[in-house]
Amino acid sequence: MFRKNTQPMPTSIAPAERVTSVLGPGINWRGNLRGSGGVRIEGAYEGEIAIRGMVVVGETGRVSCETLRANTVIVAGAVRGNIIAEKLEIRSTGRVWGDVTVIAFATEEGAFLRGQVRMEEKVELELENPEEEIQPVETDPNAGEGA
């Protein structure tokens, strides 16, 4: 009467929907954050963020970047920069200064956004950059010698 489904499960890589790394309060970080997983920022972060997964900016979190790219972004702290995401949620304590491009957008009463909201059917996150080939440099053994 009941048959077991023997078809293999799809092996697509789904973005992480949980936090796996935390930048704690009192930590100031400057650099580029790339990869996959879930990140919670409770300290101060300056630099680019491109995450396949979730980025949570906690109430004490402060992010300053040109563009924050992630599948899901939740802002309860402050973000100064543009956001490109599939889903964006700005909590009541959240503050965003920048333009956002999203598929789904939600805010709580009291949330702040100074910028434009652009909703699309599909968002190109450009999370994976092809590795650049390193070309060997040919040196001229006679370079620097007079003629």
pLDDT on residue 142 = 54
Spell out the residues 6+ positions from residue 1 whose beta carbon is closer than 8 angstroms to its own.
Answer: none
* Residues belonging to the chain: 147
CA dist., res. 131 & res. 34, Å (int): 13
pLDDT in tens, the chain (147 residues): 555 555 544 444 445 567 778 888 988 989 999 988 899 999 999 999 999 999 999 999 999 999 999 999 999 999 999 999 999 999 999 999 999 999 999 999 999 999 999 998 888 877 655 443 334 444 445 545 554
pLDDT on residue 101 = 94
Rounded to a whole number, what is the largest CA-CA distance in the chain?
Answer: 92
Helix (H, G, I), strand (E, B) or coil at 29: strand
